[in-house]
Structure 1
Amino acid sequence: MTPEALTPERILEATEDVLRRYGPAKATVVDVARALGVSHGSVYRHFRTKAALREAVTERWLQRTVDELAEITGGSQRPAPEKLRQWLSALFEAKRRKAGADPELFETFGVLIGGNSTVVEEHIAELVGQLSEIVEEGVQAHEFVPVEPQGAARAVFDATTRFHDPAYAPEWSKPGIDAEFAAVADLCLRGLTARPADESAG
């Protein structure tokens, strides 16, 4: 490949392949350049450091999950409680699928979390933002109790951490994990739909 034909997207595609082949600890920019048939300097013209390249490929990889969940957030007229449950289930399945089918890139994600990467912070902010939209829909439709959507969304996200944080990935294939997820999701939904005792009695 000539340097002129090199694009950020082609570099990111090659980087994913290199990460899968060698893992985040051993993969280098030289490996990426070799896979593309260019000098490592050509790669650095698009991504100034190895860390920047790793963040970019992780962002691209994470965006697929964000896009998948966005279809649930904005593409349905179903009741908010049903949409919330579907969204939480889809997030869990997406993370579990990535951990099982793409372990090297999933490990890269875990490395970035340890490094307090802004990519990870932005990813979480996008997910919480989607949750906030669902909660706000539920409040507006009187399907959820009156709550501040952003705060409630963050609480739900934190309550389900075990089912999307890479630190818990080894647990995701254990027997009974689906029932445990359902129990936490049920608890979150009950908290959002519960009415005060005096209101329900009236």
Structure 2
Amino acid sequence: MLDRDTVLTATERVLRRHGPAKANVVDVARELGVSHAAVYRHFASKSDLREAVVRRWLGNARDELAEITRSAQPPADRLRSWLTALFEVKRAAVDEDSELFATFGLLAAESGSAPSEHVADLLAQLTGIITDGVSSGAFAAGDPEATARAVFDATAVFHHPAHATHWSRPGTEARLAAVCDLVLAGLRT
């Protein structure tokens, strides 16, 4: 039975094989052994299909990070774990399939609202951790939302795709640990 998830998985294979410039709905249908009309039953257009692929890809990282957000760790440990996991998820995506990572980057750049919604989700998770830290007395932050944005921006070199070529360099984990130490020192009461 053809469902959205099956179409998205096939679309990823087609994107990997043909790249974003050449991949189209007919190629996806051919990959699935169905007519292109069958694909259009699940996605109204090629751009809707691409947007859904980007959402699914970004959702994988978001969901893993949400687990950390809900953990029982103290806020400082949770924040360090969250920042480290964000880096590891992004680096693993590059290491596992750098061409597909680049393809997703191109699709995200032409995507509608998926990337900005993804960042909003991540900022909400960070805000939750920082709010918990303020509530427990572990962090001093006047505005947890603004502080979350500052932490996100300060660590961008470890999660923004523009910096992906640096993630596998020796010492990157140590640099991230040093930035986490600095951020946590700044947040402590």
| TM-score under structure 1 length normalisation | 0.87
What code does the residue aligned with 1:137 have?
D
Q: Is residue 102 of structure 1 aligned with residue 121 of structure 2? A: no
Change (3 A) 1:108 1:66: same
**Which position in structure 2 is the counterpart of 1:72?**
68
Count how many residue pairs are aligned between Structure 1 and Structure 2.
189
Could you tell me which residue of structure 2 aligns to residue 198 of structure 1? Answer: none
Runs of 4+ in 1 over 3 A off after TM superposition: none
**RMSD after superposition:** 1.5
- Which residue, 127, 141, 153 being the options, matches 2:136? 141
Percent identical: 54
- The answer to whether residue 29 in structure 2 is matched with residue 39 in structure 1 is no
3-state SS of 2:137 partner = coil
**Partner AA of 2:51 in structure 1:** E
Pick one of 84, 90, 110 that aligns with 1:115.
110
Question: Residues 105-162 of structure 1, C-alpha deviation per residue, up to 9 Å, x if partnerless?
Answer: 3223311343363100111111111011000000000000132111111110111111
**Match of residue 10 from structure 2:** 14
Amino acid at match of 1:55: E
Q: Which runs of 5+ in 2 are unaligned?
A: none
1:50 CA drift (Å): 1.5
Deviates more, 1:95-104 or 1:19-28: 19-28
C-alpha distance in structure 2 between counterparts of 1:13 and 1:174, whole Å: 31
| Alignment correspondent of 1:174 | 169
2-structure distance, mates of 1:17, 1:109: 12
The match for 1:125 among 113, 120, 123 is 120
Cα gap change, 1:113 to 1:57, in 2 (>3 Å): closer
How many Å separate the matches in 1 of 2:90 and 2:38?
A: 33
1:51 matches 2:47: yes
Q: Tell me the amino acid that sits aligned with residue 25 of structure 2.
A: V
Measure, in 2, the Cα distance between the counterparts of 1:55 and 1:116: 6
Q: Measure, in 2, the Cα distance between the counterparts of 1:105 and 1:124.
A: 20
Question: Aligned AA for 2:85?
Answer: A
The CA deviation string for residues 22-77 of structure 1, in whole angstroms up to 9 with x for no partner, is: 22233221111001111112212321221211110111121111111111100x22
Question: Is 1:26 matched with 2:22?
Answer: yes
1:132, 1:152 within 8 Å by CA — same for their partners in 2?
Answer: yes
Q: 2:44 is matched by which residue type in structure 1? A: R
Which segment drifts farther, 139-148 or 83-92? Answer: 139-148
Equivalent-residue separation in structure 1 for 2:172 and 2:141 (angstroms): 31
3-state SS of the aligned residue for 1:61? helix
Q: Could you tell which deviates more after superposition, 162-171 or 9-18?
A: 9-18
Note the residue ranges of structure 1 that are not aligned, 5 or more in a row.
Answer: 196-202
Rg bigger for which structure?
Answer: 1
